[in-house]
Amino acid sequence: MACEGILLGMGNPLLDISAVVDDDFLQKYDIKLNNAILAEDKHLPMYDEMASKGNVDYIAGGATQNSIRVAQWMLQIPGATSYMGSIGKDKFGEEMKKNSTEAGVNVHYYEDEAAPTGTCAVCVVGGERSLIANLSAANCYKSEHLKRPENWKLVEKAKYFYIAGFFLTVSPESIMLVAEHAAANNKVFMMNLSAPFICEFFKDVQEKALPYMDYVFGNETEARTFAKVHGWETENVEEIALKISQWPKASGAHKRITVITQGSDPVVVAEDGKVKLFPVILLPKEKLVDTNGAGDAFVGGFLSQLVQEKPIEDCVKAGCYAANVIIQRSGCTYPEKPDFK
């Protein structure tokens, strides 16, 4: 059984501002679908423009927090998961705390005095999404918060750690503290490639953390970008997954497993020099609401079984189940109880 505090996540807690937009809006702000970027000055007016739309949803988000909340929902064991990140002292921050606590996650936020809680614009067109993150307070996380005894206790208690690649832009030192603790104590450390820009522009910090990763998650676009950045002359996702799994490791306690999702195409799992493909649950187009949070939900479902030491087939099945539930709803939200068998 998964016990209290078994899974710890660290990342950028963001409030998703989600709205259905049109192609003109995408062009106006120079946005590509199925991408995730950090906001530049040219994007800043869009947050107010989206907030003024009639059909806007506010949902607690941030990639790691989404995955942790989904894992918590799948496990249905109060406090099985914990989460750390930085929010502002404002109404969005309060909303986030309330949201996560109600979801059963044990949150230890660092509260920044000056910066507002981070937001993420989720632009939805035809069910596909594009994410533009304005990190604000999320960018202010410091490893000093992690080292405080009441927070480090969460690290000592956890046996599994999951951190999205997005956190590499904020606090690589916090990531390395947890990675080194995991390697020294035979625990499981996991990260996500998260976005093409992480693989391209945060290559050095990503490479520094990679030897510690026991599981690497990502999607096909991120995997191909990773390969390109490292001069691997291949676009073949199976080959790339295999090469990532064979990257040298800091600790020999666990082999590395690479898990790459490909939308409606099969999930690629590379381990022990072999690749396995797992079909996903196909959804009729008319049932698709939006793909926001699909990858995060997949990881959350996967982790919910992994922390119970279930075989990889079950982990992937649970990941596909959770992703299938989430894409039929707005944002990374879910019904009261899972019915995963």
Task: Catalogue the active-site residues.
Answer: 296
Distance between CA atoms of residues 73 and 68, nearest Å: 9
What's the CA angle centered on 196, arms 259 and 136, to 5 degrees? Answer: 110
Q: What are phi and psi of 219, to 5 degrees?
A: -110, 180
Look up residue 41 and give its DSSP letter.
Answer: G
Distance between CA atoms of residues 124 and 122, nearest Å: 6
Cα torsion through 310, 314, 318, 321, rounded to 10: -170
Look up residue 212 and give its DSSP letter.
Answer: G
- DSSP secondary structure string for all residues of 124-175: EETTEEEEEEE-GGGGG--HHHHHSHHHHHHHHH-SEEEEEGGGGGT-HHHH
Distance between CA atoms of residues 21 and 132, nearest Å: 13
Of 90, 13, 28, which is closest to residue 59 (Cα–Cα)?
A: 13
If one counts every other C-beta atom within 10 angstroms of the C-beta of residue 290, the result is 24
